[in-house]
Amino acid sequence: MAQRIAESELILNSRGAVYHLDVRPEELATTIITVGDPDRVPTVSKHFDRIEFTTQHREFVTHTGYLGSKRISVVSTGIGTDNIDIVLNELDALVNIDFASRTIKDQLTRLQIVRLGTSGALQGDIPVDAFVVSSYGLGLDNLLPYYLFENTDAEKLLLQSFRGQVEVSNGVAVPYIISANEALAARFKDGFHTGITVTCPGFYAPQGRALRGPLSHPHLIDQLTQFRFEQHRITNFEMETSGIYGLGRVLGHETLSISAIVANRIAQQFSNDGAAAVELLITRALEVLAQ
């Protein structure tokens, strides 16, 4: 008999919704857009032809609706891969665990999860307001090492090369790498840069920003910018992609992360209108996803 998942492990609230997201299975679409900023959820769903469900619990806002005949949910994750751990596990539970019997379903559902976020560019030729599709998520954040997962041979070679070229002290991070879903990435080519995205466990020192706190890794940005392996280079960094790709691998979902570049760390520029860049990214991404 299938193993029952205890009340302490899969937590459901009084309306039978999953603990943090406050969403019930029938309220979620299988195509999901994740955004970091809760205020970005209506910026996406305003393009829907019909919105059938909205909710908010903490930083997790969910809107589900239709774009033409395509049912889409947009979910805010907040910042960081600790939140991605919550969101990806709860999205997966919503489709792959039977809430009544608290058992894993025999037939698993593969979600399509696309992050539309913001990011800092690490190459001089990727200007602010450009869009980057993450070919790989390279995690310096330590979420995925808590899970059992398998790397492809290509990922192992990339990671080995990264370890040789970028110094991350022992005890600071255990770098890991997971690729995007290739079929999903192939749909976003025209007008999009592509490259490895590094996911950091913070916005300041973990992304080489020194305001008042001194940096333990002052060469991080240079080393990330200069990294090369075969045709690969690191294009940008942000705070969620590796967790999304990693848990997508662990749980069997198709994942893709696309960023609007709001900062260029080489040119030391910040976008004059990041909101407009994000708005344009949303419009372009919805055009593709609606097809």
Ligand X SMILES: O=P(O)(O)O[C@H]1O[C@H](CO)[C@@H](O)[C@H]1O
Ligand Y SMILES: O=c1cc[nH]c(=O)[nH]1
Which residue ranges make up the site for ligand Y (CB under 6 A)?
A: 118-120, 203, 207, 238-239, 262-263
- 252 vs 75: CA distance, rounded Å: 19
In whole angstroms, the minimum distance from the beta carbon of 184 to ligand X comes to 18
Separation CA 290–CA 124 (nearest Å): 33
CB 12 within 8 A of CB 19: yes
Element (H, E) at 198: strand 193-199
Return d(Cα 211, Cα 216) in angstroms, integer: 13
Contact between 240 and ligand X by CB under 6 A: the answer reads: yes
Least CB distance to ligand Y at residue 256 (A): 17
Residue by residue, DSSP assigns 131-146 as EEEEEEEEE-S-SGGG
Q: Is residue 206 part of the contact set for ligand X (CB under 6 A)?
A: no
CA distances in angstroms from 183 to 15, 98, 192, 259, 282, listed in the order given:
37, 29, 15, 18, 19
Question: Which among ligand Y, ligand X, none contacts residue 36 (Cβ within 5 to 8 A by kind)?
Answer: ligand X
Alpha-carbon radius of gyration of the chain: 19
Neighbours of 211 (CB within 10 A): 6
Nearer to ligand X, 97 or 121 (CB): 121
- Give min distance, CB of 270 to ligand X, in A: 11
Interaction of residue 117 with ligand X, rule CB under 6 A:
yes
Residue 195 in the binding site for ligand X (CB under 6 A): no
Q: Is 35 in the site for ligand X (CB under 6 A)?
A: yes
Q: Is 282 in the site for ligand X (CB under 6 A)?
A: no
79 binds, among ligand X, ligand Y, none (CB under 5 to 8 A by kind): ligand X
Closest residue to ligand X using C-beta atoms: 36
**Minimum separation from the CB atom of position 278 to ligand Y (A):** 11
Q: With CB under 6 A as the contact rule, which of the stretches 63-71, 171-179, 211-219, 234-242 interacts with ligand X?
A: 234-242
Give the total of residues touching ligand X (CB under 6 A).
10
Q: How far is the CB of 258 from ligand Y (least distance, A)?
A: 13
Question: Which of 75, 71, 61 is closest to 115 using CA atoms?
Answer: 75
Count how many residues are written for the chain.
291
Q: Does 279 bind ligand X (CB under 6 A)?
A: no
Which residues in this chain contact ligand X in the complex, by CB under 6 A?
A: 35-37, 79, 117-118, 203, 238-240
